[in-house]
Amino acid sequence: MAHPIADIEAILQAHAARLERLPDYQAERLPLPALLPGQDAIAQRIDHTLLKPEATRGQIETLCQEARTHGFWSVCINPGYLPLAQEQLAGSQVRLCTVVGFPLGATLPEAKAAETAASLSAGAHEIDMVLNVGVLKSGDVVGVFTDIRGVVAAAHLVGALCKVILETALLTDEEKVLACVLAQRAGADFVKTSTGFSSGGATVEDIRLMRAVVGPEMGVKASGGVRNYADYQAMVDAGATRIGASAGVRILQDARGAAPSAPMATLAIKPTIAWLALS
Dist CA 174 CA 104 (whole Å): 20
The active-site residue out of 112, 163, 176, 221 is: 221
Amino acid at 242: R
The active-site residue out of 192, 206, 231, 254 is: 192
Radius of gyration of the chain, Cα coordinates, nearest whole angstrom:
18
The active-site residue out of 128, 147, 189, 206 is: 128
Q: Is 221 an annotated catalytic residue?
A: yes
- Measured in degrees and rounded to the nearest 5, phi and psi for residue 166 equal -85, -25
* Cβ atoms of 176 and 197 closer than 8 Å: no
Q: How many CB atoms lie within 10 A of CB 177?
A: 28
- Measured in degrees and rounded to the nearest 5, phi and psi for residue 251 equal -60, -45
Q: Is 128 an annotated catalytic residue?
A: yes
Q: So which residues are the catalytic ones?
A: 128, 192, 221
